[in-house]
Amino acid sequence: MKILKASCASTLKLSLILLLLLAATSATMAATAEVDFISHIKSILLLKRDPIRAELLAQRLMDQKGADDPDLIIIDTRESGDYAKGHIPGAISIPLFDLPAAIENGSISSDKDIVVASYDGGDGMMAALLIDIFRVEDPGAQKKALENGSKPPYPRATSLFAGMETWSLSLATEKGRFDNALGCARVERPAETTPNSVGERFQPPGVESAELKSGFKEFVLKRAREYFAKFANQKELTVTGVEITDDSIRGKKTQIFSVRKGFHYIFGHIPGAVSAPSNLLLESEYLSLIYPAREVDLYCYTGMNGGMASMALGILGYKARNIKYGINGWTLSEKVISGHLKHFDLKWGWDFPLAKGSEPGGPLWEDIVEPKGCEGCHSDLTALSLAVTAPSPDGEIKKKQRI
C-alpha cells in the first residue's frame, strides 16, 4: 500500500513538472512569436520609402504614356464618393478600409510599383506600408538593393506626397492644406523644448503563436482589419493640430509621440509629446511607453512617416492616429520644423488633370501637353503651379507664376 501511494505521488509530481515545462515552453514560443512578428514589421517599416511629389508623379505618368504594360499603377484609397469627384486619370479606387480584402483577393499587383493617392499622404503611407508587409518577403534583400541604388527584388509602394490636394487645388478641403482653394491656411501652435517622459511602463498587446498558425500574411491582414474597425471611418485615422488642441482643452487624456529624430525633438515639439524616433519606435524599450488601452497620436515632419508608424502600431494592436502634416501642421517655425518645409510650402499648388466618375478612365495621358511656362497658354489638361498668397485687405487673391 505504501509503495502504491509513493508511486502515485511520484506520478503526480512528474505530471506537475511536465505541465510546468509545457507552460514554460508555450510561454517561450509565444514570446518568440511576438518578437519575430514585431521584428518583421519593424524591418518593413524602416525600408527606404520616399513619397513622390505631384510634379514627379505626373512626369513619370507622361513618360510611360502609350505603354501596353506600364510599370506603375495608381491606387486611390479615398472614399468612393471623393474618388468620383476627381481622381488621377487611370487610378484604381480601393478605399483604405477595403485594402486588406483587396490584398487578400489578389486585386493588388504583385509585380508593379504602386503609388497611393490619398487624402493627405500620411494615410497613403499607411496603405503603402501594408502593401509592402504583404509583398516584401525578404526585407533584408530589399533594403540592401534600395541603399545601393540597384533594382530591388520586390516592387515598391509609396504615396503621393501630402495627398490629392497637391495634385489639384480644386480638391482642397476644409481641414486640408488650403483654407479654401486659394487662401493659405497656416495654423500656428506653441511648441516646447522641455523633454517629456513616461513614468509607468506597459505591456504591449500580445501575439499568441497559435494566431500565426494560419500564416503570417493572413494574420497581418486580420490585424489590419481589427485596427480599421476601431474607427468609424478612414478619415478618423488622421487628426489635426487644431483637434489635438481642442482635445487638450476638453481634458481628454491623450498620449502623443514624436517619431522625428531625437535632436529635432529637442529643438521643439508639441507640448506633452514624448520622443520615440521611428527607427526605435518598435523596440521594446519604446513600446513599453505606450498605454495600449488609450488612443495614441503620432507625428513626424510632414505626416508621411507618422502615417507609417501609426499603421505599424495599429497592426500591433494599438489605436493609433497620425497627426496631419506632422510638425508642419502644428507650427511653421524654421527651427522647430528642422528645415523639412522644403516642397511643403502651403502656398504652392498644382492643377494637374482629374478624371471624374466611378471608373478609372478620364483624360488619357496621351492627350496631355506638358506645361509651357505661361499661365495664359495652359489648358484644363495641362499642369499649372501657382504661388498663392493670402487675400489682400481688399479681398483680392494675388497669384504669382512659379514655372
| Total tally of structural domains belonging to the chain | 2
- Beta bridge partners, 92, equal 75
Choose one of 317, 337, 357: the last residue of a domain: 337
Tell whether 303 is covered by a domain.
yes
Asked whether residue 259 falls in the same domain as residue 286, the answer is yes
Question: Residue 228: its pLDDT value, please?
Answer: 98
Interacting residues of 281 by C-beta distance below 8 A, sequence separation 6+: 45, 257, 259, 287, 309, 312, 313
My answer on whether 269 and 309 are in the same domain is yes
Question: Of 337, 365, 382, which marks where a domain is finished?
Answer: 337
**Is 322 domain-assigned?**
yes
- The pLDDT score that the predictor gives to residue 309 is 97
From residue 356, give the alpha-carbon distance in Å to each of 90, 93, 144, 353, 384: 10, 12, 40, 10, 19
Write the DSSP symbol of residue 178: B
Residue 201 to residue 155: CA distance in whole angstroms: 39
Give 47's Cβ-side CA count (13 Å radius): 37
Instruction: Tell me the whole-structure pTM to 2 decimals.
Output: 0.80
Query: Does residue 383 belong to any structural domain of this protein?
Result: yes
Residue 390 lies in a domain: yes
Residue that is written with C-alpha cell 471611418 in the block: 233
- The domain that holds 379 is classified in CATH as 3.40.250.10
Tell me if 43 is assigned to some domain. Answer: no
Q: Enumerate the H helices of 207-303 as residue ranges.
A: 216-228, 241-249, 262-267, 284-287
403 residues of the chain, pLDDT tens digit each:
555 455 666 666 666 766 665 555 444 444 555 678 889 999 999 999 999 988 888 888 877 766 666 788 999 999 999 999 999 988 999 999 999 999 999 999 889 999 999 998 999 999 999 999 999 999 999 999 999 989 999 999 999 988 998 888 677 665 554 333 333 334 456 678 888 888 889 988 876 655 666 678 888 999 999 999 999 999 999 998 878 887 777 777 789 999 999 888 988 898 899 999 999 999 999 999 999 999 999 999 889 999 999 999 999 999 999 998 888 778 766 666 654 544 444 445 566 777 878 888 655 555 555 544 334 433 333 333 333 333 333 444 333 333 2
In a domain, 82, yes or no: yes
Q: Is residue 173 part of a domain?
A: yes
149 and 107 co-located in one domain: yes
pLDDT of residue 193: 81
Report helix, strand or coil for 311.
Answer: helix
Regarding whether 353 and 251 lie in a shared domain, the answer is no
Rounded Cα distance between 309 and 284, Å, is: 15
Picking from 292, 312, 337, the residue at the C-terminal end of a domain is 337
Domain housing 332:
209-337
Same structural domain, 125 and 163: yes
Give domain status of residue 35, yes or no.
Answer: no
Under 8 Å between Cβ of 122 and 306: yes
Do residue 299 and residue 374 come from a single domain? no
pLDDT of res. 74? 95
Supply the pLDDT for residue 390: 33
